[in-house]
A and B are shown apart, each in its own frame.
Chain A
């Protein structure tokens, strides 16, 4: 089945550790996005990519890094420089100019 998959669904990490969130899509979409959502809030854009080997910073890129080595994959690393990493992380993909489709999200808790 076609879709966008995020893993894991829940993730716990100790403070100061880097952690990588996975996002894979088999929809052949060119654009991919990472958003962060805090309780009761909207989605804030972290990074996005329109094409392989290229990506742009969103509104809250500090403390995060991404790569886009393959069209299907857009992993997000939450680094120790991110001061408040506990949040719900959503990955999305879209054909250029069309609506975005979301994965089921990863809930990251830093203890």
Chain B
């Protein structure tokens, strides 16, 4: 099975940097995904890590340590439109495409 843990809420100022953490325990691992979800809408894909290290994609970066069962999403130059819930999801081992999500972290951006 999979157990995924995220802190629940944080507030940050426009233009700042925020780091959202995710820890996981899983019997098998074949990738970690980050999604953004605005209230009442479907999640949209942000980033994917399967090997250790940092993946950078514009203002968003994601880091993975498989040995620690840990990932973070870094949001730089925060904008008001970044106010959303950020979800991490873990895919089970290759051959089993089970995809489980954490509870999400609500980020509120203030002027």
Q: Do these two chains really belong together in a complex?
A: yes
Size of chain B's interface in residues, with CB distance under 8 A? 25
Inter-chain contacts of B87 with A (CB < 8 A): 42-43
Least CB distance from A8 to B in Å reads 15
B80 at the interface (CB under 8 A from A): no
> Cα distance A35–B91 when bound, in Å?
14
Least CB distance from A67 to B in Å reads 18
> Cα distance A43–B4 when bound, in Å?
11
Q: Would you call B43 and A90 a contact (CB within 8 A)?
A: yes
- How many A-B pairs fall under 8 Å by CB? 61
Stretch of A12-20, A68-76, A77-85, A97-105 lying at the B interface: A97-105
Size of chain A's interface in residues, with CB distance under 8 A? 28
> Cα distance A44–B89 when bound, in Å?
11
Q: Would you call B97 and A43 a contact (CB within 8 A)?
A: no
Please give me the 9 A-B residue pairs with the lowest Cβ-Cβ distance, nearest first. Answer: A42-B103, A102-B42, A43-B101, A31-B97, A42-B104, A99-B45, A42-B101, A50-B97, A104-B42
| A residues adjacent to B (C-beta < 8 A) | 30-31, 33, 35, 40-45, 48, 50, 56, 58-59, 90, 92, 94, 96-105
9 contacts between A and B (CB under 8 A): A42-B6, A48-B99, A59-B1, A92-B99, A97-B31, A99-B45, A100-B89, A103-B42, A104-B41
